[in-house]
Amino acid sequence: MVDAAFRPGRGTTMPPAPQRDWALFLDLDGTLLDIAATPGAVVVPRDLVSDLEAAAAALDGALAIVSGRDLHDIDQLLAPLHLPAAGEHGAVVRLPSGRRDEVATRVPKDWIEVLLQLQETCPGVLTEPKAHNVVAHFRNASAHEATVRRVASELASRDPGNFELLEAKMAVEIRPRTVTKARAVDCLMKVEPFVGRVPVFVGDDATDHDGFGAAVQHGGIALDVAHAFAGRPNQVRAWLKRIAEVAAP
Active site residues: 27
Q: Where would I find the H helices in 27-108?
A: 48-58, 71-77
Phi, psi (deg, nearest 5) at residue 52: -65, -40
Instruction: For residue 174, give the H/E element and its range.
Output: strand 171-176
Query: Is the peptide bond prior to 96 cis by the omega test (within 30 degrees of 0)?
Result: no
Number of H helices, E strands in the chain: 8, 11
End-to-end CA distance of the chain: give it in Å, rounded: 41
Closest CA to 130 of 157, 109, 156: 109
